Structure 1
Amino acid sequence: MNTHSNKTVLILGANSDVAKECILQYLERGFSIIASSRNLASIENFERENNIDSSKITLKYFDATDFSSHQKFYDDLSVKPNIVIYAAGFLVENQKALHDFESAKQMIEVNYMGAVSILNIIAMDKSNKNLERIIGLSSLSGVRGRKSNFIYGSTKSAFTQYLAGLRQELSSRKIIVNVLVSGYINTKINAGLELNKNLLMEPHYVANQIVNAGNSFSIVPNFKWKIIYFILKILPESLVSKLP
């Protein structure tokens, strides 16, 4: 018996590799999907390639950086979601972000400002009695500032802190807020970067952690990354400064 047949998941930034895996796994569990992105053509191709039942998925245009459109985007949803995932993300290398503020600004707007804008709207709609969970996709880059990626990391750190406060704000309404704090994932956003292959996680694995999120705030997938996460949190600044 399908226990989730009347529940809907809204995925913001549904064109990411992890988000696409979430779509498949939530569909397997009987949820309906609202997949939102600026690149709807890519999601349409993904839908065709995976023979997804079109009655179970709705595609909707969403631009994380077009803040003034967010209220209308939410108001126009035909069904208000039970679960919301913010998976939109943008990354440029730190040296480019240091010398080109437009690149830094785009990371700030996609990774943090856009999330706050749309999630505030969703979270503050008390008329939506369906809402039970919000999950944000953050990064271990936001745990400590490191010279190789501190601008990107700062956007993820801010997002994580926002979600931590939102969790407290929504606790009285029994709405769970989770943050996925992930390490390296084998995705297109990391294509071309020199990453330790032994630490790379596959999108399917990470998506499984999201779909099976429990009550704990932080989700750190993979035991290797759990160890790295805890070391980063307790490492003295003098040692953090020696990290790449």
Structure 2
Amino acid sequence: MNQNRDKNVLILGANSDVAKECIKQYVKKGFYVVAASRNIQSLNHFVEDNQMVEKVRVLYFDSMAFDTHQKFYNDLPIKPHIVVYAAGFLVDNERALREFKETQQMMITNYMGAVSVLNIIATDVNNKNLERIIGLSSLSGVRGRKSNFIYGSTKAAFTTYLAGLRQELASRNIRVNALVIGYIRTKINEGLKLNESLIMEPGYVAKFIVNAGNSFTIVPNFKWKIIYLILKILPESLVAKLP
């Protein structure tokens, strides 16, 4: 008997490449998935193409529209057992320095929108289903570096929020995980000059999300784990010399 048959997963920002891989893997494990995104047309095509119509429900969700988040949650047909916040937005640091609208969109999508909707989900004490909240963060948020400190600051804020949320929900036995992720071969990174040997495939990263355990910080790939540990211990004088 499949122990996940009556459980459901809510994926916010479900149109990302990693999120789509999560949808497929959660369905394969027996979960029912509610996939939420602004681009529901693309998601519906994806669900139909992968013959998952009976296992996935697509809903409209806009991380930037804070005033809609409570209604979105209230209207969910079933309250989630697992929540994955996968929404993300990235622009070049030079562009973000000069165009605050781009910075603002990163702040809202990567952090503020997440806090808005996850606070609503986390404070619903009537939802006895909730077992886990997973947030997709980034290695860019481990230390401030001149090449990406604006984007990195949004991810650092999100990781800190998730750490506190983990403590807040511990008494209810709800686990919180932060996926601290390096380079992925996705559309958000298209056009960037990245080290090919460090690039991970979306399906590979999705496995770490779908199989998240008790650890708060999850860093997929041993190379990125080493980079993560180095970044954590490097003195500021050396961090300043990084690109």
- Does TM-score exceed 0.5, indicating one fold? yes
SS of the aligned residue for 1:55 comes to: coil
Is it true that 1:70 corresponds to 2:80 in the alignment?
no
Determine the C-alpha separation between the residues in 2 that align with 1:228 and 1:27: 32
Equivalence for 2:187: 188
CA shift at 1:56, angstroms?
A: 1.3
Q: How does 1:98-109 map to 2 (within 5 A)?
A: 98-109=97-108
Equivalence for 1:150: 149
Equivalence for 1:165: 164
Equivalence for 2:10: 10
Which consecutive aligned stretches of 4+ in structure 1 deviate over 4 angstroms post-superposition? none
CA shift at 1:144, angstroms?
A: 0.2
Equivalence for 1:44: 44
Is it true that 1:228 corresponds to 2:227 in the alignment?
yes
Residue deviations 1:41-67, cap 9 Å, x none?
Answer: 111111122121x22111110000000
Letter paired with 2:44: E
Q: How many residues align?
A: 243
Residue deviations 1:27-48, cap 9 Å, x none?
Answer: 0000000000000011111112
Identity of aligned residues (%): 70
Letter paired with 1:236: P
Is it true that 1:34 corresponds to 2:34 in the alignment?
yes
Q: How does 1:88-99 map to 2 (within 5 A)?
A: 88-99=87-98
Residue deviations 1:121-140, cap 9 Å, x none?
Answer: 00000000000000000000
Determine the C-alpha separation between the residues in 2 that align with 1:74 and 1:223: 37
- TM-score, L = length of structure 2: 0.99
SS of the aligned residue for 1:116 comes to: helix
Determine the C-alpha separation between the residues in 1 that align with 2:48 and 2:6: 23
Determine the C-alpha separation between the residues in 2 that align with 1:12 and 1:51: 21
CA shift at 1:2, angstroms?
A: 1.4
Determine the C-alpha separation between the residues in 1 that align with 2:69 and 2:99: 27
Letter paired with 2:50: N
Determine the C-alpha separation between the residues in 1 that align with 2:236 and 2:41: 45
Determine the C-alpha separation between the residues in 1 that align with 2:45 and 2:204: 22
Residue deviations 1:73-108, cap 9 Å, x none?
Answer: 000001000000000000000000000000000000
CA shift at 1:151, angstroms?
A: 0.2
CA shift at 1:23, angstroms?
A: 0.2
Determine the C-alpha separation between the residues in 2 that align with 1:37 and 1:162: 22
Determine the C-alpha separation between the residues in 2 that align with 1:24 and 1:2: 16
Determine the C-alpha separation between the residues in 1 that align with 2:56 and 2:201: 24
